[in-house]
């Protein structure tokens, strides 16, 4: 007699959340169907059922990380308000993001930069950049918005890699230079 299937509609999401936790602890290199299954407390077959490859799982994880960042970005009213200093608002936003859960920020960048070696991640990484450009383009032209994204990435990565604290005033000055070149 066959065992009845357990109804578990949230299993896929739990697997993605588990992948984010595993990657957050051990990096992308520590991610496997087995480690994720153990973390999610699901049978190994569940991870391979929902995600045929690790790249599929990484795409889902990066997309979920992007959703959190995008939500923060879109909810920040100062970034969209025409009467605020965009450089100051963006520098403050970056400071709040970098000052939050550092492990989460590191993981988002690891997943984002993972696209260099994993082509399957490239479209999702590009979506992240396009989302930020879209939000910033409400206040400036798309070319300048792309330059701002590049500068934001550079400042954040330098802070993460050197261990130096994020310097909001430095970011504001550099962002102002991009927005109003002298």
CB distance 54 to 31 below 8 Å: yes
Query: pLDDT per residue over 70-109, tens digit each?
Result: 888 888 888 888 889 999 999 999 999 998 888 888 888 8
Write down the CATH number for the domain with range 9-52.
1.10.10.60
Span 38-50, pLDDT tens digits? 999 999 999 999 9
Looking at the chain, which residues constitute the CATH 1.10.10.60 domain(s)? 9-52
C-beta atoms surrounding 118 within 10 Å? 17
Rounded percentage of the chain residues whose pLDDT exceeds 90: 59
Percent of all residues in the chain with a pLDDT value above 70, rounded to a whole number = 95
Cα–Cα distance, 43 to 85 (Å, whole number): 51
CATH assignment, 64-179? 1.10.357.10
Q: What is the pLDDT of residue 6?
A: 65
Q: Where in the chain is the domain with CATH 1.10.357.10?
A: 64-179
Closest by CA position to 175, among listed 120, 94, 117, 110: 94
Q: Is the pLDDT of residue 2 over 70?
A: no
Judge whether residue 182 has pLDDT over 70: no
The pLDDT tens digits for 126-148 are 998 898 999 899 899 999 999 99
């Amino acid at each position: 007699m066959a065992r009845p299937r357990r109804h578990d509609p949230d299993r896929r999401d739990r697997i993605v959340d588990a992948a984010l936790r595993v990657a957050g602890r051990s990096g992308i290199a520590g991610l496997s169907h087995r480690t994720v299954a153990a973390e999610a407390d699901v049978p190994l077959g569940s991870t391979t059922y929902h995600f045929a490859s690790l790249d599929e799982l990484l795409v889902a994880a990066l997309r979920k990380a992007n959703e959190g960042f995008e939500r923060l970005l879109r909810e920040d009213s100062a970034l969209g308000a025409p009467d605020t200093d965009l450089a100051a608002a963006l520098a403050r936003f970056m400071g709040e993001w970098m000052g939050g859960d550092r492990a989460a920020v590191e993981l988002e960048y690891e997943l984002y930069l993972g696209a260099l070696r994993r082509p399957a991640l490239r479209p999702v990484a590009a979506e992240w950049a396009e989302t930020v450009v879209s939000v910033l383009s409400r206040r400036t032209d798309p070319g300048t918005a792309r330059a701002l994204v590049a500068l934001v990435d550079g400042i954040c990565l330098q802070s993460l890699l050197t261990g130096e604290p994020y310097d909001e005033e430095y970011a504001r000055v550099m962002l102002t230079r991009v927005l109003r070149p002298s």
